[in-house]
Amino acid sequence: MNCFGVIFAAANLSKLKRKIVMAIIITDECINCGACEPECPNTAIYEGADDWRYNDGTSLKGNVVLPNGKAVDADEAQEPVSDEIYYIVPDKCTECKGFHEEPQCAAVCPVDCCVPDEDYVESEETLLGKQRFMHPEE
Ligand code: SF4
Ligand code: SF4
């Protein structure tokens, strides 16, 4: 590869890196202040020990197949992800894509414990697809 090829490949890699984003996770440094919960446009944040539903704050109803192929009952109560601290449901988190320029939970958290979840690496297109699936009317 000549030097132009190297520059071109590096530019493409940098473009690809910009498009790889992740859902957000709350770490155990959470102080349970509750500031993040009302800020989430997808209702993906719940208080520890609370049940959650796909239909909370979304247009999903009844049996649906998520963009990732998972079949779920949107009305059914789901087990809490954490019993001790506020938690984020990865299937509902879009990193605020489609609503805001940056994750709103991370923006308001006083202890900076809303961080990218390396177990849920998704492209920007995937996150926007999730957002449109949950809020087709917006
Ligand atoms: S990043 Fe946005 S969509 Fe995800 S949990 Fe935080 S506020 Fe909700
Ligand atoms: S804003 Fe931060 S500290 Fe407060 S509940 Fe949310 S994650 Fe926990």
pLDDT at 120: 85
Q: Is 26 in the pocket of ligand 2 (CB under 6 A)?
A: yes
pLDDT at 22: 74
Question: Which residues of the chain fall short of a pLDDT of 50?
Answer: 1, 3-18
Q: Is 36 in the pocket of ligand 2 (CB under 6 A)?
A: yes
Q: Which residues neighbour 75 within 8 Å (Cβ) at sequence distance 6 or greater?
A: 53, 54, 55, 61, 62
pLDDT at 91: 94
CA atoms within 13 A on the CB side of 18: 6
Distance CA 116, CA 81 (A): 17
Nearest atom (ligand 1) to Cα of 104: 7
Q: Is 105 in the pocket of ligand 1 (CB under 6 A)?
A: yes
Q: Tens digits of per-residue pLDDT, 99-115?
A: 999 999 999 999 999 99
Residue recorded with tokens 């239909």: 55
Is the C-alpha dihedral spanning 75, 78, 82, 87 positive or negative?
negative
Q: Whose CA is nearest to atom 8 of ligand 2?
A: 30
Tokens found for residue 1: 């590869």
Q: Is 93 in the pocket of ligand 1 (CB under 6 A)?
A: yes
Distance CA 20, CA 125 (A): 9
pLDDT at 138: 66
Closest CA to 68 of 116, 15, 23, 115: 23
CA distances in angstroms from 21 to 28, 86, 88, 114, listed in the order given: 22, 22, 16, 14
pLDDT at 14: 42
pLDDT at 8: 41
Q: Give the three-state DSSP class for 17.
A: helix
